[in-house]
Amino acid sequence: MHSDLRFAMGYEVAMAFDQLLGEMVKKWREVPGGGDQQPRKFSDDLLKASRHDLLAWWKGQFEAAREFRRWYWELYSSALSGQRVLEIGSGLGFDAVRLAMHGASVTCCDIAPSNLEIVRRVAEAHDLSIDTVHIDSLAVFKDVPQVDVVWAIGSIHHMPFAEAREESIAVIERLKPGGRWIELSYPRERWVREGSPVFQQWGKMTDGERTPWVEWYDVEKLKQRLHPWRLEPIVERRFESDTYVWMDCRVLGRGEDRPIERRRVQEPTDRLYALGPIWNYAWQMALGPSPAGAAVTVELDCVVDRGSVGFVLLHPVEDRFISREVIVEARIGDQRIYLTTDAFETDARVLTRCATGLGNCEYRIKSIELRENL
């Protein structure tokens, strides 16, 4: 990843995946219960209980999990029936059991052996066939049969981008052509709302004192993590007041394995204004040459202090939009938007305009970067 982008996202350290495992295992044998308000437990302590007590406790947590997971359980349980699902970071196996009950063939992967032992005992008690894989290095994925779906719910975002990329590339090799990559993470909006802390600190804020790392994601960042594999987004849904983001993408295939081409553009230093009436053109700027031909995505970070501002790519000669317009409303903290086009030319411009009928707009642009479409 580009060094400026790594710095901006809060990368402070880089560890190879296998070296990171020891630190991660210390934390993630501490498994969350069925919901945010449920107690966390150490899975190796849970295994000391009697079979009856363990299963009774698990059942209670499974029922509690319905409150948070109901919408996606209902959406995917039937849809994934008959599919081979590879779950990364299975924890106590709530999703695995639910999907297996509805006909999916599930393989649970986890870095903590005690988590997998609980999954095996629960599966046996429910007369379900769920395979388990202990992730003690990335080499284990070479022996995993090909699957239709990768299911990573609240797991991969708990490690630095570089290490998450190592694991993701090892995993996606096991995905059949046209398969689905489904992931739950924390969105950038939550990170900004909680003060944009460094990712080591944010881990402690979100998942407890011993959490070594957590970072935000959206589909565009997921595309970068899985590059050179190409994704077609199916669902990108933020929920629980931008506390979580659900990403469901179809994997189209593997592209050319090379660095992502990108170029930083000098952002304006002054505070900007978009005066009414609504849809009145305001600030605009030429973006210069493309880093990768006509297919370009503009990553733009901005702060809208007042009103609503429309951002769009403009063909200046023909005065027509060459991207979808993104409307950004005033809120605390900076916001990231993506403007994508397949018709970028050297004289293409980024245009802002007033997007409210309630007065004038005030905003700042913090960064602009062009990169190839992914």
Kindly report, residue by residue over 88-136, the tens digit of the pLDDT. 999 999 999 999 999 999 999 999 999 999 999 999 999 999 999 999 9
Q: For all residues of the chain together, what is the average pLDDT?
A: 93
pLDDT above 80 (res 12) = no
Q: At what angle do helices 17-28 and 161-172 cross, to 10 degrees?
A: 100
Asked if 86 and 174 touch (Cβ cutoff 8 Å), the reply is: yes
pTM recorded for the entire structure: 0.92
Question: In whole angstroms, what is the distance from residue 268 CA to residue 254 CA?
Answer: 37
Q: Average of pLDDT values for 334-359?
A: 96
Where does residue 121 fall: left (phi above 0), alpha (psi -120 to 50 degrees), or beta otherwise?
Answer: alpha
Structure confidence at residue 35 as a pLDDT band (50, 70, 90): low
Residue pLDDT, tens place only, 45-72: 999 999 999 999 999 999 999 999 999 9
Q: Average of pLDDT values for 262-279?
A: 97
Per-residue pLDDT at 155: 96
Per-residue pLDDT at 40: 81
Q: Which residues contact 237 (CB under 8 A, 6 or more apart)?
A: 245, 246
Per-residue pLDDT at 37: 65
Q: Which residues contact 363 (CB under 8 A, 6 or more apart)?
A: 271, 272, 273, 274, 302, 303, 304, 305, 306, 307, 309, 328, 352
Instruction: Walk me through the domains of the chain, giving residue ranges and CATH numbers.
Output: 3-254 (3.40.50.150), 262-372 (2.60.120.260)
CB atoms within 10 A of CB 207: 20
- Least confident stretch, 18-27, 161-170, 246-255: 18-27
Structure confidence at residue 6 as a pLDDT band (50, 70, 90): very low
Residue pLDDT, tens place only, 224-257: 999 999 999 999 999 999 999 999 999 999 999 9
Q: Bigger pLDDT: 16 or 123?
A: 123
Give me the amino acid identity at 234.
Answer: I
Asked if 111 and 142 touch (Cβ cutoff 8 Å), the reply is: no
Question: In whole angstroms, what is the distance from residue 117 CA to residue 17 CA?
Answer: 23
Q: Average of pLDDT values for 296-303?
A: 98
